[in-house]
Amino acid sequence: MKTANQDIMPITRKINTKGNVEIGGCDLTELANKYGTPLYIFDEATIRSMTRSYKDAFKSYPKMKMVYASKAFMTKAICKIMAQEGFGLDLCSGGEIYTADSSGFNMAETLFNGNNKTFEELTMAIDTGISRISVDNFYELELLNDIAKSKNKEVKILMRITPGIECHTHEYIKTGTIDSKFGFDLTQIDEAVNLITSEYKNLKLCGFHAHIGSQIFEKQVYYDEIGVIFKEIKRVNDKFGLNLNEINIGGGLGIKYTNEDKPISVYDIAETIIKSIEYHCDKYNLEPPYVYIEPGRSIIGTSGVTIYTAGSSKQASNGRRYQAIDGGMSDNIRPSLYQAEYTVEIANKPNETEQEIVTIAGKHCESGDILAKDVKLPIIEEGDVICFYDTGAYGYSMSSNYNRVLKPAAVLVNNGKSDIIINRQTYEELTHNDVIPESIMND
């Protein structure tokens, strides 16, 4: 069964009677006029469609726990939607913990993950009642136990391991290989378990956590990952007399950015994951464990688009035509960081014939500030609204103030209504934390 991550465009995208692109019942050119550009736009129907696809796909395995990987995009409004859809949250910083807690989210439905959690962040995690902390290294084991001991609390943990699984994705978003900054490698598990069971009495090990990467188009890697985790659970249970019964398999399901991308559906991975769990439960004579899955990009990515206003253009002597927009690498770093590619459309000219090959350039003082290279589009004129699809994941969450450019606003659209979920940054907010010390002040 097809799911929304397999489409380039949000499920509500259409061309309206004015000849403009519409998402969530809202004309993109009208949104540009109302809120300004650059502007992040999120289609609520697509977000909810993906959360419901996950729940439906895994409904035959009642011990499956869905947690949204909030690093993909997180605001208080997104927390509310996830709570309404019955999802927990995977958090990886103090800021994400604070956002979830201040939104009123049930922190007993959250996990905390990351390779260098600070004393302050771990303290916040314990104080807010986070359900599980995925411990990443020996340093953190000791630090977390000391904090828990000082508070006279027992903290439930998962041990993050690197399963040695290779998936075919960008090098920077592989996380499950042996050469990774994340987690204990398989040779370190016994030493860590021994410390937990003999010395760190304020930590309770519940199971293992592994994550194999992001933008994954393969099923087999999930099957193999679960096999590695089960093998280690069986071995550790037998050796240490434990009864570990929780696993976290991460997320990573890919989405369709361009026509060349061929992502699989949520139902495809669900079938593979459930088969692997059942097979390995039988193989190792284990009770079916509680299983966490952490989709992020596949939940939010397709729902989001970013619109820009066309500005200056240039015809280079080598033949390349550049079209500048009013945003760039500060609101979407992925093309510069990962060489990511996107599908682009002129929101006020979707039906016009594609006549020129252009390179969409950002406004920043960097030659590498290119959002789309050599794409075929209708003739672009100053003031046209240019839409980039599939920017819902890692657009705003990786944004910056490079060149002191303001961060864009974000809106949620649904049934013809648009609501601000992030206000556009102001110059006053940009400079709020600046300080001129007295030592350099003029008399």
Condensed to tens digits (0 to 9), the pLDDT of residues 412-431 reads: 999 999 999 999 999 999 99
| Statement to judge: residues 194 and 204 lie in one domain | yes
| Statement to judge: residues 152 and 215 lie in one domain | yes
Between CA 155 and CA 416 the distance in angstroms is: 46
Give residue 165's pLDDT. 76
Give the chain's mean pLDDT.
Answer: 95
Percentage of the chain exceeding pLDDT 90: 92
| Statement to judge: residues 18 and 58 lie in one domain | no
| Statement to judge: residues 325 and 286 lie in one domain | no
pLDDT at 172 over 80: no
| Statement to judge: residues 97 and 223 lie in one domain | yes
Whether 167 is catalytic: no
Condensed to tens digits (0 to 9), the pLDDT of residues 38-71 reads: 999 999 999 999 999 999 999 999 999 999 999 9
Cis ω for the linkage preceding 38 (within 30 of 0)? yes
Q: Which residues contact 397 (CB under 8 A, 6 or more apart)?
A: 71, 72, 73, 74
Condensed to tens digits (0 to 9), the pLDDT of residues 93-104 reads: 999 999 999 999
- 379 domain-assigned: yes
| Statement to judge: residues 236 and 191 lie in one domain | yes
Residue 207: CATH number of its domain: 3.20.20.10
Confidence grade of residue 113 (pLDDT, cut at 50, 70, 90): very high
Confidence grade of residue 166 (pLDDT, cut at 50, 70, 90): low
Identified catalytic residue from 79, 92, 206, 365:
365
**How many domains in the chain?**
2
- 381 domain-assigned: yes
| Statement to judge: residues 84 and 24 lie in one domain | no
- 233 domain-assigned: yes
Condensed to tens digits (0 to 9), the pLDDT of residues 203-212 reads: 999 999 999 9
| Statement to judge: residues 150 and 114 lie in one domain | yes
Largest CA distance in the chain: 80
Confidence grade of residue 180 (pLDDT, cut at 50, 70, 90): low
Domain boundary among 243, 268, 300: 300
pLDDT at 234 over 50: yes
Between CA 377 and CA 240 the distance in angstroms is: 63
- 443 domain-assigned: no
- 437 domain-assigned: no
Confidence grade of residue 178 (pLDDT, cut at 50, 70, 90): low
| Statement to judge: residues 269 and 378 lie in one domain | no
DSSP result, 133-197? EEE-SHHHHHHHHHHHHHTT--EEEEEEEE-----SS-GGG--SSSS-SSSEEGGGHHHHHHHHH
Question: Which tokens in the block code for residue 319?
Answer: 């033949």
| Statement to judge: residues 68 and 183 lie in one domain | yes
Give residue 142's pLDDT. 97
Q: Which residues contact 297 (CB under 8 A, 6 or more apart)?
A: 69, 72, 214, 215, 251, 252, 253, 254, 255, 393, 394
- 435 domain-assigned: no
Q: Show the domain range for 148.
A: 43-300
Between CA 273 and CA 69 the distance in angstroms is: 18
pLDDT at 169 over 60: no
Domain boundary among 270, 300, 330: 300
Give residue 220's pLDDT. 93
| Statement to judge: residues 326 and 277 lie in one domain | no
Percentage of the chain exceeding pLDDT 70: 96
Confidence grade of residue 176 (pLDDT, cut at 50, 70, 90): very low
Average pLDDT over residues 268-286: 97
pLDDT at 168 over 80: no
Give residue 182's pLDDT. 72
One-letter amino acid for residue 160 of the chain: R
Angle at 405 (CA atoms; ends 402, 409), nearest 5 degrees: 120
Domain boundary among 247, 277, 300: 300
pLDDT at 390 over 50: yes
